[in-house]
Amino acid sequence: MSLLKSYLSFARGERRLSPWMVTYPFGVIARTVVSMRNFAFDHGLVSSVEPVIPVISVGNITLGGTNKTPFVEMLCRMLREAGIPVGIISRGYGGTTLDPVVITSDMIGNGEEDRGSRTAFLREIVGDEPLLLASRLQGVPVAVSKNRLRDIDSLLERNVDFIVADDAFQHRRMGRDADIALVDACCPFGNGWVAPAGILREPPSVLSRASLVVITKSDQVPGEKLDALAGEICRFVPKEKVFFSRLSLPTWRSWNGCWKKGDRKAPGSVIAFSAIGSPESFRRSLEQQGIAIFREHRFKDHHRYRKSDMEELERSLSECGAEAMACTEKDIYNLPRGWKPSREICVPLISTELDDEPRFRAALLEVLRPRIIVASNGYGEDSMGVLLARKLKDRFPCASVSSFPIVGKGEHYIREGIPVDSVPEESPSGGVIKYRFLDLWRDLRSGLLRSIARQMEAWSKLRGAIRTPICVGDVYLLLHSLWGQGQLPVLVATAKTVYLSGHWRLERFLLKHRSRTTWTRDRETADELRRSGARARFDGNPIMDLTCDNTIETVPWGEKGKPGVLLLPGSRRRAYDDVRLLLDAVERLESAVPSAYLMVIAPTLDMEELMASCSGWEPFEETGWKGIRKGACSIRFFFGPLPSVTGDALLLMGLGGTANQVCAGMGVPVVSIEEKGKFVQKKLLGGSELLVPPTAQSLAEGAARILSDGSLRLKMAREGKERLGGPGALDTVVAHAAESMGWDLRCRLFQRLSERWSGL
């Protein structure tokens, strides 16, 4: 015992010089291991899974002694008072169970009966703290095992809507909706070293990942020390997220082999014994009540008392003449089976009180507000991301929905009023996937690596604060999100398909192990991924969801007797050069097949720069339309969504990517130019797209051929619809998030808490 006291004195920082300084090298090793583990979770190298039910974690960064158990009890009461069925999961320190065991108060007794052999048996299986929580919280199930995720599954069968996880700050494999870290005001960080060289499980800097920090036992230290500790914590946590709590001993009860009915008065003098993480706190709590402590006996945390221990305590009681023995409620569950004291043991029922409970409720409520993010990596993907974000906002009106585009500046999202959390920048190539080494070289010279680093920094600010990210794009975006914030994303895969040689083996491996669910753009690709073990599904082509956006209104623009030709210069920087090619092709086509022309302008393009590329053409404005004219040929400009204007189109001359696919899927034949990216796209679009050499004359001849051959147009239209398939994917993504990922439940509970806690 003296050896343990010596070590604890050193670890808690009470003695600076000690033989235990030899443990410093082990502390360095432990800190390195902890840092590597946290790095792995922060960047998705080790997966963290979001449970289907909301979870609040209560934990700390030291070895015991921060009063987690009474805080968990207080939190559960707070949620139950709001009408929410709550359960607790615990690792059950000192228990032997590996598989989940669920205990409730009725299994322990009503508090007046002898604990009996059943309670003692449960203590062997689940440990002391779960028994204490179950006995104090009537009707709250407590699940105990070594696997917290399995504990959650077992509580779902008990009709629980909310989980409070006891001592789970370090259990990062389990995602959580709120992470509450407790810091002991009396001994916050010990000597500052990680165990075994100190009492820290992790260095204080990890408090930055906490949603809220509560400094416990705030009434047991001087005000200046408390202020200094709060200031130190505010290095890692904003001041508004720091709270204070204190212990309260409102009632006392007596135990003499069973709990006696009713409360009793506090004793005047005691010998105190305890086997808890912070025996000093127990002593100070007794002293604050004016109780004289004649002697004190301390045991190791969770110590299982032997009869010899109790006989020694009774001798000590007789020798010193104290009125009674006193211990904590947790100690009662560690007493020897069948042992009864010669005199009653006095037990204070300890509880936790917050200094500013209304502010704590408001802060916790804001943390529990579902925060959803849609990531995308392309201009076409941004269009789908906007539609998905809008559907998410409609389904989850109380949630905060934002975006994370990594290409361009998020113009699509900004125009729809959707917040942008990333810090993307324009690149010369305007994209991520490079079809030419020259494009990659130009992007690197313009700061591609710097841009990626800034995006990673933006992701890190969201770490732990968002629900499962929804990625609209490719595997690169999935890895970008995973490395940035650590949580397994879901992927709406818009790029790869079996029509384009399918996914590489490495991509299939990543989708199997690092994608929570993947939606593909065709059934065959989903089948390919499922054969590799990935969780893949096909519920319609997400690209074609753009064609059935119910906010889109049809805009007529055709002219009687003239075929309608859509012009699409694209949405990236090269569009300013490509528009010249389209204009030259229009002049040649007009002489062969007079047509009505409409140019769809992407929101990413700067009109002043675009007009500079239209030299030789005169701007005009008439009957609500703007455009350009040259001789008898006029081209109208359209700035809205592409599906609004496809109804009057017989042909698209398109130099875009996703927009070309949308038109083909809507039955509009496409003519484009031969280049590496378009050859890839041709594998997907098949006969619905005609590729010609990149000259104005070739474009005009290809367009004239399609416009002049009705059977060819019909064949191309039919193949485009078959190749692209129908819509429906995005609605299914939202429904899956609502039901299988628990977002509907989270929103309902947030609304209930908002109603109950407003004005408190």
For residue 290, the 8-state DSSP code is T
- In angstroms, the CA 554 to CA 544 distance is 16
The yes-or-no verdict on residue 425 having pLDDT over 90 is no
Domain end (from 247, 274, 295) = 247
- Mind giving me the DSSP string for 25-47? HHHHHHHHHHHHHHHHHHTTSS-
452 and 490 inside one domain: yes
Element (H, E) at 474: none
pLDDT value for 113: 45
461 and 594 inside one domain: no
Domain end (from 247, 276, 299) = 247
Percent above pLDDT 70 for the chain: 96
pLDDT value for 429: 63
| Tokens standing for residue 328 | 């904590």
Q: State which residues form the domain around 706.
A: 564-724
Domain membership of residue 412 (yes or no) is yes
Cα 110 to Cα 136, 254, 264, 703, distances in angstroms: 10, 15, 18, 85
Confidence band, pLDDT 50/70/90 cuts, at residue 501: confident
Of 218, 189, 192, the closest CA to residue 60 belongs to: 189
Beta strand pairing status for 490-493 and 518-519? parallel
- Mind giving me the DSSP string for 99-153? S-EEE-HHHH--SSSB-HHHHHHHHHHH-HHHHHHHHHSTT--EEESS-HHHHHH
The per-residue b/e assignment along 55-79, b for 16 or more CB within 10 angstroms, e otherwise, is bbbbbbbbbbbbbbbbbbbbbbbbb
The yes-or-no verdict on residue 648 having pLDDT over 50 is yes
Query: H/E/C letters for each residue in 233-280?
Result: HCCCCCHHHEEEEEEEEEEEEEECCEECCCCECCCCEEEEEECCCCHH
Tens of pLDDT along 516-567? 999 999 999 999 999 999 999 999 999 999 888 777 889 999 888 899 999 9
- φ/ψ of residue 129, rounded to 5: -65, -40
pLDDT value for 432: 58
The yes-or-no verdict on residue 280 having pLDDT over 90 is no
pLDDT value for 43: 95
106 and 201 inside one domain: yes
Of 600, 597, 584, 579, the closest CA to residue 662 belongs to: 600
Tens of pLDDT along 589-629? 999 999 999 999 988 888 999 999 999 999 999 888 999 99
Domain membership of residue 287 (yes or no) is no
Of 617, 725, 603, 611, the closest CA to residue 661 belongs to: 725
580 and 532 inside one domain: no
36 and 132 inside one domain: yes
8 A C-beta contact, residue 304 and residue 337: no
**DSSP-derived 3-state class of residue 348:** strand
pLDDT value for 449: 85
pLDDT value for 105: 84
736 and 671 inside one domain: no
Domain membership of residue 442 (yes or no) is yes
84 and 225 inside one domain: yes
137 and 184 inside one domain: yes
Of 746, 760, 745, the closest CA to residue 369 belongs to: 746
503 and 576 inside one domain: no
Q: What is the mean pLDDT of the chain?
A: 90
Instruction: Report how many domains make up the chain.
Output: 3
- In angstroms, the CA 368 to CA 545 distance is 31
Domain membership of residue 326 (yes or no) is no
- In angstroms, the CA 563 to CA 559 distance is 8
Domain membership of residue 286 (yes or no) is no
Tens of pLDDT along 105-157? 887 754 444 445 566 677 778 888 888 898 889 989 999 988 889 999 999 99
Domain membership of residue 208 (yes or no) is yes
Domain end (from 215, 247, 279) = 247
734 and 663 inside one domain: no
The yes-or-no verdict on residue 733 having pLDDT over 90 is yes
508 and 648 inside one domain: no
pLDDT value for 84: 96
Of 216, 231, 230, 224, the closest CA to residue 185 belongs to: 216
Q: Which one-letter amino acid corresponds to residue 70?
A: P
- In angstroms, the CA 654 to CA 306 distance is 84
Cα 584 to Cα 65, 223, 577, 699, distances in angstroms: 78, 79, 12, 9
Query: Average pLDDT, stretch 708-726?
Result: 93
Tens of pLDDT along 45-67? 998 889 999 999 999 999 877 88
The enclosing domain of 58 has a CATH number of 3.40.50
**DSSP-derived 3-state class of residue 341:** coil
- In angstroms, the CA 267 to CA 283 distance is 14
Partner residues linked to 376 by β-bridges:
405, 472
Confidence band, pLDDT 50/70/90 cuts, at residue 1: low
Domain membership of residue 404 (yes or no) is yes
690 and 738 inside one domain: no
- In angstroms, the CA 73 to CA 69 distance is 6
Confidence band, pLDDT 50/70/90 cuts, at residue 11: confident
- φ/ψ of residue 556, rounded to 5: -75, 140
The yes-or-no verdict on residue 237 having pLDDT over 50 is yes
Domain membership of residue 293 (yes or no) is no
pLDDT value for 117: 58
- In angstroms, the CA 386 to CA 394 distance is 12
Angle, alpha carbons 737-741-747 (nearest 5°): 75
Cα 558 to Cα 205, 219, 366, distances in angstroms: 64, 78, 51
Cα 564 to Cα 582, 594, 652, 708, distances in angstroms: 15, 10, 9, 13
| Tokens standing for residue 130 | 């779960």
The enclosing domain of 577 has a CATH number of 3.40.50.2000
pLDDT value for 137: 92
Beta strand pairing status for 371-376 and 400-405? parallel
